[in-house]
Amino acid sequence: SKITLSVIKADVGGFVGHGSVHPDMLKNAEEILEQQGKELLVDFFVTNVGDDINLILTHKEGINSEKVHKLAWNTFLSCTEVAKSLKMYGAGQDLLSDAFSGNIKGMGPGIAEMEFEERPSEPVIIFMADKTEPGAWNLPLYKIFADPFNTIGLVIDPKMHSGFCFEVLDLVEDKKVTFSCPEELYDLLIFLGASNRYVVKSVYTKNKEIAAVSSTQKMNQMAGRYVGKDDPVLIVRCQSGLPAVGEVLEPFANPHLVTGWMRGSHYGPLIPVSQKQAVPTRFDGPPRAIAMGFQLANGRLIGPQDLFADVAFDRARQKALKAADYIRQMGPFEPHRLPLDEMEYTTMPQVMEKLKNRFK
């Protein structure tokens, strides 16, 4: 029988500012899942990256299950109450709707989920990032599933040699397109390179087995603003015909620049860190990613193994910090600051209004 792995995340209050999640909120999430998920869930694990709570859930309900989504929603609602009582910053900020309406998509929380037949051994990695957005996974996903300089398995593993298919979502027009690689690599890259608009939703083997799913959603107009520019999660299955754990982690050894950071309005390096180090404070960042590894055992989450805690990622962290120092020197200038139309915060309309009679 098939198992479903759902990762559902929300920021329902930051400690301190937008830096982390208060331990009482995490404890509360565990209690709610324990009590209300008894019948529904096979297993669960709660963690946080920065100010985002991540619920990692296994169950038999398939993707888009109303029951599972509602349980996650209720968990976040309950954590919001804890956040409010402690006067956490931005309590309930990602719960954009007043009432649950059947599917958590488009209601604020981010979600990545996949259903599959559990293999004799099923290693999975859950990537979770804070202070960035779904396009952050484009470059690593390209390297993991299409770049032989990253993934030697594409060259020397007969089971991977035919390549993978990338399903890409156009966030603006809400359309999907699938590229078969390596045949359509160059077509794929023209889109993936524009990672604020085109984002990888999922990756499949050529036999249509699911390999990776991200929390990418169409941009929803909620609360009077575009959301979907949200701290993302990504699930990747590994080994025996899929990329090895080390091939999946390898792109993060060379930190790339992503959008997000302070006020969601800057470029900065994505630092791979241990879960303990996932407290972005310098200029509210820099953006960071954690990688939690699990072995599934009949749906049980055996783990986690905190994969970026490895000393072999120390130099990636040093490199990212150097890049952070370098790019921070530019202050409010592009390309550190995002272009006008991509910033989450802007004073431009007010400044323009004030000065409108002075523009000649």
By annotation, the residues acting in catalysis are 11, 226, 229
User: 313 — phi, psi (to 5°)?
Assistant: -95, 0
Picking from 182, 189, 116, the residue whose alpha carbon sits closest to that of residue 155 is 182
**Contacting residue, 135, 232, 255, 264, with ligand F6R by CB under 6 A:** 264
Q: Which one of residues 43, 115, 130, 230 is an interface residue with Mg ion (CB under 5 A)?
A: 130
The answer to whether 18 contacts ligand F6R (rule: CB under 6 A) is yes
User: Are the C-beta atoms of residues 83 and 51 closer than 8 Å to each other?
Assistant: no
Residues composing the chain:
360
- Distance, in Å, from the CA atom of 148 to the CA atom of 135, rounded to the nearest integer, reads 21
Q: How far is CA 274 from CA 64, 245, 292, 293, 307, in A?
A: 30, 16, 9, 12, 7
Size of the site for ligand F6R (CB under 6 A): 9
For ligand F6R, the closer of residues 20 and 214 by Cβ is: 20
123-142 residues in contact with ligand F6R (CB under 6 A) are 131
Toward ligand F6R, which CB reaches closer, 18 or 59?
18
Query: How crowded is residue 277: how many other Cβ atoms within 10 Å of its Cβ?
Result: 15
**52 touches, from ligand F6R, Mg ion, none (C-beta below 5 to 8 Å by class):** Mg ion
Residue 51 binds Mg ion (CB under 5 A):
yes
Tokens of residue 358, six digits: 């002075």
262 binds ligand F6R (CB under 6 A): yes
Q: Which is nearer to ligand F6R, 37 or 285 (CB)?
A: 285
Which of 265, 268, 260 is closest to 324 using CA atoms?
A: 268
49 touches 288 (CB < 8 A)? yes
Q: How far is the CB of 338 from Mg ion (least distance, A)?
A: 17
Site string for Mg ion, 76-115 (x = CB under 5 A): --------------x-------------------------
Among 52, 115, 284, 306, binds Mg ion (CB under 5 A): 52
**Around Cβ 349, how many Cβ atoms within 10 Å?**
8
Binding residues (CB under 6 A) for ligand F6R: these are 17-18, 90, 131, 260, 262-264, 284
Binding residues (CB under 5 A) for Mg ion: these are 11, 14, 18, 50-52, 90, 130, 231
